[in-house]
Structure 1
Amino acid sequence: MTILHKLTLLAAAVMLALPAAQAQEGDDELRGRGPGGGADFSTAPRVDVHKPVQLIPLYMRDPRIHGLQPFQELVDKTPEGGVLKVPAGHYSGPVHLKKRMVIEAAGDGEVVIDGGDKGTVFVLETNEATLRNLTITGSGESHDSDDACLNVRGHGNLMEGLNIADCLFGVDLKQADHNILRNSKVRSKDFELGVRGDGIRLWYSHDNLIENNLITDTRDMVAWYSHRNVYRGNEGRRSRYSIHFMFANDNIVEYNRFYDNAVGVYFMYMEGGGARGNIISHATGATGMGLGFKESSDIFLEDNEIIYCAIGVGSDLSPFQPDTTIRFKNNRFAYNGVAVYLTSELGGNEMYGNVFEGNLTDVFQAGRGRGEGPKNKWAGNYFDTYQGFDRNEDGYGDTPHEEYAYADRIWMEIPNARFFKTSPVLELLDFLERLAPFSTPDLQAKDDKPLYRKPERRTPGSAS
């Protein structure tokens, strides 16, 4: 390459870079210019994204269901607003319900609608319909097409007494409001946890009631961009997330029972709502967590039992919005690895009347704000590790309860050391640190008025 060519390329590079440099120098003046530069997206309406229904026809499904009576024929023969009482037996899918009607089993026998392991089995695309006492089974295995046993795309529908089995996704609500799903069973396909589908999924679906259902061996129960829904009296077992909220505001989780799931209830980018009267147990393993928070705000937690979890509460940058709180009241944290795990200490968490007993560690404060002292509010909580007295017998300790990190700072600051958290060496080191501190311990939490006696608790998990 000649010198002339090199100079030409250098000049071109300078000319290309010049507008960018000028833009940086005059950034304040240029900001807002150009297409869309001054747009305010905070009040922009959401585009109505609708994924069309695509049902795989019967002849393309597994041959085992080709000889069964198509359930769609029964639906087509029933008039708008009619009642279809289905005789017991096995029927073939797919089914696409597009008119208001009632579909229910005629007697005590089982009505089975089989999708032949291909695509979605039943699409409910209407308003104010009722499905009752049906077994829907045999969806496909594709996550790309969201293969489900029941796909709901309407409003004000009632679904009760359903048995949803052998499904990738169980019940999938897409832009569906004011529906009720109750007294039903949902079970995924027999896959590894990560490749199962969600048991119950809400996507841009609001004001729904999910009540008294049994969800087992699925991946997650999720609510994305879905507001003001109520999850009441459900039982979830052996899944990943019992319920995972994301950008979903003002949802209520009450009187549920979640056992042996990796995570109980996770609030991610959520504002408003909360959880009361739930039992969350045995969320164990490397990711085990009873209640989780990620940049969420203005949430209440009342009368919950968080027991036998690796982490009882895991909170990251929550509450996130200024001048908001996350309020823990009358909860029980028992026999957890770490009862309350704060990855940042920005304040706004309020702890009133909670019970801490049998935990390996009650409070763990890490990350941003550590070393500045506790900024959260602690009052009237019971700690089985409290070492004071109640000489005036008013029910509260005479001295504050203070949670310090002594040798625990080793595993708090060095994650690889957590394997040795309860080893004899660290226990001995912690004992010596408390006996004669050779370093300044970190204050994790301080309750100025701790309860002296463990309060009696009513049985959680029930509205009564």
Structure 2
Amino acid sequence: MSTLHRLARLGLATALLAVIIPGNGETQSEVPAGMGARADVDRPKPIFMLHERDKRVHGLKPFQELVDRAAPGSVLKPPPGAYAGPVVIDKPLTIDGGGKVTIDAGDKGTVMILNASNSTLRGLHLTGSGDSHDTDDSCLDVRGNDNVVEDLRIDNCLFGIDLKQTNRSKIIGNRISSKDRELGVRGDGLRLWYSNDNLVESNEIIDSRDMVAWYSHRNVYRNNLGKRSRYSIHFMFANDNVVEGNRFYDNAVGIYFMYTEGGAARNNVISHATGAAGMGIGFKESSGTVVENNEIVYCAIGVGSDLSPFQPDTTIEFKGNRFAYNGIGILFNSETGGNNLTDNVFEGNLTQVSYGGRSGSPRNNFWEGNFWDDYQGFDRNSDGFGDNPHELLAYADQIWMEMPVARFFRSSPVMELLDFLERLAPFSSPDLILRDAKPRFVKPHREA
């Protein structure tokens, strides 16, 4: 065998060994399934010379110099002022800007990369990333575990905070907004990719694109504010995530569960998800989720469900929610059953519940103890529940169930008259949408 061949085989063996042996002290269980050791998940970041960056950063001191001089594990408290990026942190550090430190990359590349574990970033203003989607230009990339990112102000960035293969970290109290771009070409305010067991709490994400979690499990999103974006939170192949106590206003979609299992959405306020695709909470081929005690108001569709629950012998539980003043309270598409709805409030919706076509087998879903503002019955024994079941039948509703474009004419005088005549003397058999055997007669009290 020639010397060249021996060197080639030695190089291949070394490369394979590097993939098999986890680096940075990580155990194999911490690495995403199928990815071997921690992979370099980023495209190569381009290097920009100073003259390529905006002139506002030309006279600023590079923040990288302070990071390079800091000892691993130390606390860095920079003097107040503005500094030039980019910054790469490849050792454990605590950096506390006290709310008086700005790092500006001059509208090129990524502002700061945290490629270390057990670190804390606090009280910094990060601004001026590039606008390339190819290299995921962002204000902050986080690539280590057990980190804390809190009280950052992030603006004029394509992507806000980007976590990849990052576990057990805390993202708390940050204010994030995107560049002034059309909605579809903004970056995500907060993105989790193959990142598990993280806490996302008390952040404000305004005028961004999405907050997304892909292949990321067991994360908690608590007490965040999302406004004027596309998806407040979009889960894809992300299981057992919890969304609680958040406020999502004026977004196209509130919370979307796509190809997920488990998880919960509870105690959230979702309002004004309007437009052609406006939706408070959405499901696509998802299973096992609990939706509890949410306020879903003034949305085009309160809940949109498509082939959910998807897995056999699973359910989706709706408990104690308020669906109010929506175009459609709940819309089921490709209905398979398995949705259990108890103790919810339906009031002021143009259509309480609808199907993407004829209802098929509405008895596959379970309805009990819900309050319906259009219930026509009495409570003679004063037990708080109607004497008769509440049945929702589709009369003129069948027109826009089968021809969605006809919804434009809903509530018009002609459609109202047609609906009245059909109820008075049906000339076709109406579809049964649902049957609540024990409807609430008195609207339950709810805390705002």
Report what 2:47 is aligned to: 56
The CA deviation string for residues 124-151 of structure 1, in whole angstroms up to 9 with x for no partner, is: 0000101111000000000010000000
The CA deviation string for residues 32-87 of structure 1, in whole angstroms up to 9 with x for no partner, is: xxxxxxxxxxxx94124432462534524223212100000011111011111122
Report what 2:407 is aligned to: 418
**Which segments of structure 1 move beyond 6 Å, counting only runs of 4 or more?**
none
Distance 1:130 1:449 in 2: 53
Deviation at 1:274, TM superposition (A): 1.1
Query: TM-score, length-normalised on structure 1?
Result: 0.87
Would the alpha carbon gap of residues 189 and 403 (structure 1) be closer, same or farther in structure 2, given more than 3 Å must change? same
Distance 1:454 1:50 in 2: 55
1:93 to 85, 91, 97: 85
Deviation at 1:423, TM superposition (A): 1.2
Mapping 1:362-377, distance limit 5 Å: 362-367=352-357, 370-377=359-366
Distance 2:88 2:279 in 1: 39
Secondary structure class of the residue paired with 2:356: strand
Secondary structure class of the residue paired with 2:379: coil
Mean CA deviation greater in 370-379 or 420-429: 370-379
1:156 to 127, 137, 146: 146
1:432 to 421, 425, 433: 421
Deviation at 1:346, TM superposition (A): 1.1
Mapping 1:221-240, distance limit 5 Å: 221-240=211-230
Mapping 1:306-325, distance limit 5 Å: 306-325=296-315
Mapping 1:114-129, distance limit 5 Å: 114-129=104-119
Distance 1:130 1:402 in 2: 56
The CA deviation string for residues 350-383 of structure 1, in whole angstroms up to 9 with x for no partner, is: 001000000000000234x733343100000000
CA contact (8 A) 2:233 2:256 kept: yes
Structure number with greater Rg is 1
CA contact (8 A) 2:183 2:230 kept: yes
Deviation at 1:421, TM superposition (A): 1.5
1:171 to 154, 161, 165: 161
Distance 1:138 1:45 in 2: 35
Report what 1:203 is aligned to: 193
Would the alpha carbon gap of residues 78 and 260 (structure 1) be closer, same or farther in structure 2, given more than 3 Å must change? same
Distance 2:318 2:432 in 1: 20
Report what 1:82 is aligned to: 74
Which stretches in structure 1 are left out of the alignment for 5+ residues?
A: 1-43, 460-464
Secondary structure class of the residue paired with 1:419: helix
CA contact (8 A) 1:233 1:257 kept: yes
Secondary structure class of the residue paired with 1:131: strand
1:285 aligns with 2:275: yes
CA contact (8 A) 2:48 2:109 kept: no
1:273 to 263, 268, 271: 263
Distance 2:72 2:46 in 1: 22
Q: How many residues align?
A: 413
1:453 aligns with 2:442: yes
CA contact (8 A) 1:344 1:370 kept: no
User: 1:268 corresponds to which letter in structure 2?
Assistant: M
The CA deviation string for residues 325-362 of structure 1, in whole angstroms up to 9 with x for no partner, is: 00000000000000000012211000010000000000
Secondary structure class of the residue paired with 1:446: strand
Q: CA RMSD in A?
A: 1.3
Distance 2:394 2:345 in 1: 20
User: 1:125 corresponds to which letter in structure 2?
Assistant: N
User: 1:361 corresponds to which letter in structure 2?
Assistant: T
Which stretches in structure 2 are left out of the alignment for 5+ residues?
A: 1-31
Distance 1:105 1:349 in 2: 49
User: 1:298 corresponds to which letter in structure 2?
Assistant: G
Secondary structure class of the residue paired with 1:140: coil
Distance 1:200 1:345 in 2: 32
